[in-house]
Structure 1
Amino acid sequence: MPHTVKGVVARAKGEPVTVENIIVPDPGPGEALVKVQACGVCHTDLHYREGGIEDKFPFLLGHEAAGIVEAVGDDVTDVQPGDFVVLNWRAVCGVCRACSRGEPWYCFDTHNATQKMTLEDGTELAPALGIGAFAEKTLVAAGQCTKVDPDSDPAVVGLLGCGVMAGAGAALNTAKVTRGQSVAVIGCGGVGDAAIAGARLANAGKIIAIDLDDKKLEWAKEFGATHTINSKDTDVVEAIQELTDGFGADVVIEAVGRPETYEQAFYGRDLAGTVVLVGVPTPDLRLDLPLLDFFGRGGALKSSWYGDCLPSRDFPMLVDLYKQGRFPLDKFVTERIGIDDVEEAFSKMHDGTVLRSVVVI
């Protein structure tokens, strides 16, 4: 029997979100019904509301979530009712060319639920990143459910579902930061601070945080930054070089997604250093750099998709490290809010006054 629940819907580009009744089907083959306990307010949700990702309105927003599996389809064996899970948007297929060559974190055919959630009038909803978790219940592919330690705070561990994993994975999986390396992170929002925390977890040497906002730079110190640079009144490349004996950082992680900050990352790294782009650019942005500089500097230029994570491997590991006091996951939670407060949370995010607002349901 379908379930009628409250959910946060973006009906049109740029319009304030609304809380509406939505219809969630019982799970079919390969699907799971999840009772959502908490869901972080991610910048990606705001991108959806602004039409910056696609235009398949109306959207059911929310994707950084944790909750309890309530029911599963007949053929589902990996999770069962009662399991505490963090939702992910990379339910790997296991058979595409990336999965077949042992690199499932690049899976080219990830799964979502087949059935559609709808408004009461039957209008189909497009769930953000195939999840749609600003809702009391949501329907996902069973592979989007990752079991973690059930003795965990859903408002904290749910953040692994997107931003925290993207940043930490950019350092640990994509850049493969190693002991003693110098790491610079440009952009100290949730993703950037997670990259800083990941670099610290990898025992990096100098960890340099770069942002325009002094408050964000103070936050960055809490996650492990050893040095800070305010780029509003400082030449970023020169400042990075000054902190790294004139050479540049071994790894620079760009968590903004802008041409000007990518250029800073490119020239702020050491010769043969690594640049990782984890900030999400808009489709209109372009980069213009001398091709000779690409050749002459060597090294690696990488993009990080979801922190190149494998949820079944990385989520439980990071939860365990958090519970051991080695990964400060709880520090990302600035405030806990209700399902009616998402629009206000977007404003706070835009103003830079929160790291993460988390909807507790």
Structure 2
Amino acid sequence: MPQQVRGVIARTEGAPVELTDIVIPDPGPGEVVVAIAACGVCHTDLTYRDGGINDEYPFLLGHEAAGTVESVGEGVDSVQPGDFVVLNWRAVCGQCRACKRGRSQYCFDTFNATQKMTLTDGTELSPALGIGAFADKTLVHAGQCTKVDPDTDPAVAGLLGCGVMAGIGSAVNTGGVGRGDSVAVIGCGGVGDAAIAGARLAGASPIIAVDRDPKKLEWAVDLGATHTVNAAETDAVEAIQGLTGGFGADVVIDAVGRPETWTQAFYARDLAGTAVLVGVPTPDMRLELPLIDVFAHGGALKSSWYGDCLPERDFPMLVNLYREGRLPLDKFVTERITLDDVEKAFHTMHAGEVLRSVVIV
């Protein structure tokens, strides 16, 4: 039987979010109902609310989530009721040209649950990133569920579902950071600090954090940065070069996603170094670089989408590293809140006062 639960929705563009009753259908073939334990408040949810993704209102917000499988639909054998899972927003198809070449992190045909969750009046909801986890329960495709150690704090595990994975993956997977590499990260919010944590895990040195906010630079040091650059007070490119023997960093990660910061990343890397874009630009942004500079610098310019992760490979590994004390994921959890506090958390996040607010359901 369909269930009526609570969920946080964005009904119209820019309007404050609402906590209301929603309807979760029984899982169909390939689908799973998950009881949500915790869900991080990500900037992407705010972007959905404000119309920056599309206009398919109302949205059921929330996507950085962990919880317990409650029920499964026909044909599901990858998870079973009682499994503790982290939700991901890219169930890979296994059949496209990327998947068939063993590169399913680039799957061109990812998918979500087929059925729709609704309001009590039958209005269909658009779940954020195909998840919709600011709710007591949600409906997802089985491929969006990754089993991890059930003894893990859900508030920590859920963050792997988006921002923290994107940041760690931008360093380790996309940037290929290795022991002894010099790394600079521009933008020290949740994603940037996760990139710093990933670089530290890989054995990089130095690890240079760049931001305009002294508080964010303090967070970066706590998560592994060896040096900081306040871009409000000094030229970031010159500072990074000065901290790397005048050459520039082996890998520079732009966790902001603006033409200005991407240009800084381009020029702040060593010759044949790598620049990684993990901050998400808006469609109107344009970039202009002298083509001769692109040719002369060599190296690689990469985009990191979801940290080029494979959830089944990366989520359990990172949870294990956390439980071994080698990856301080708990430091990303700034505050624990309830479903009633999501709108307030958006304001706190926008003001740069937290790394992550996490809804505990």
Q: What TM-score do you get using the length of structure 1 for normalisation?
A: 1.00
Distance 1:286 1:10 in 2: 30
Instruction: Please give the secondary structure, in 2, of the residue aligned with 1:169.
Output: helix
1:53 Cα deviation from its structure 2 partner: 1.0
Q: Which amino acid aligns with 2:205?
A: G
Distance 2:280 2:43 in 1: 10
Partner of 2:207: 207
Distance 1:355 1:118 in 2: 31
Distance 2:60 2:239 in 1: 43
Does 2:72 align with 1:62? Answer: no
1:43 Cα deviation from its structure 2 partner: 0.5
Q: Which amino acid aligns with 2:244?
A: T
Match runs of 1:257-276 below 5 Å: 257-276=257-276
Instruction: Please give the secondary structure, in 2, of the residue aligned with 1:280.
Output: coil
Distance 1:175 1:301 in 2: 10
Partner of 1:246: 246
* Aligned-CA RMSD value: 0.5
Instruction: Please give the secondary structure, in 1, of the residue aligned with 2:149.
Output: coil
Distance 1:322 1:78 in 2: 24
Partner of 2:193: 193
Instruction: Please give the secondary structure, in 2, of the residue aligned with 1:95.
Output: coil
Q: Which amino acid aligns with 1:252?
A: V
Distance 1:236 1:349 in 2: 24
Q: Deviations over 1:70-110 (max 9, x none)?
A: 00012100000000000001111111110000001001111
Identity of aligned residues (%): 75
Q: Which amino acid aligns with 2:263?
A: E
Partner of 2:284: 284
Q: Deviations over 1:21-79 (max 9, x none)?
A: 00110100010000000000000101101111111111000000000000001210000
- Unpaired runs of at least 5, structure 1: none
The count of residues paired between Structure 1 and Structure 2 equals: 361
Does 2:101 align with 1:98? Answer: no
Instruction: Please give the secondary structure, in 1, of the residue aligned with 2:359.
Output: strand
Match runs of 1:26-65 below 5 Å: 26-65=26-65
Distance 1:222 1:31 in 2: 40
Partner of 1:329: 329
Partner of 2:163: 163
Match runs of 1:97-176 below 5 Å: 97-176=97-176
Distance 1:200 1:238 in 2: 23
Distance 1:33 1:337 in 2: 23
Distance 2:124 2:248 in 1: 50
Question: Structure 1 residue runs of 4+, over 6 Å off?
Answer: none
Match runs of 1:282-321 below 5 Å: 282-321=282-321
Distance 1:55 1:308 in 2: 27
Distance 2:132 2:170 in 1: 24
Partner of 1:72: 72
1:291 Cα deviation from its structure 2 partner: 1.1
Does 2:229 align with 1:229? Answer: yes
Q: Deviations over 1:156-214 (max 9, x none)?
A: 11000000000000001000101100000000000000000000000001000000000
Instruction: Please give the secondary structure, in 2, of the residue aligned with 1:320.
Output: helix
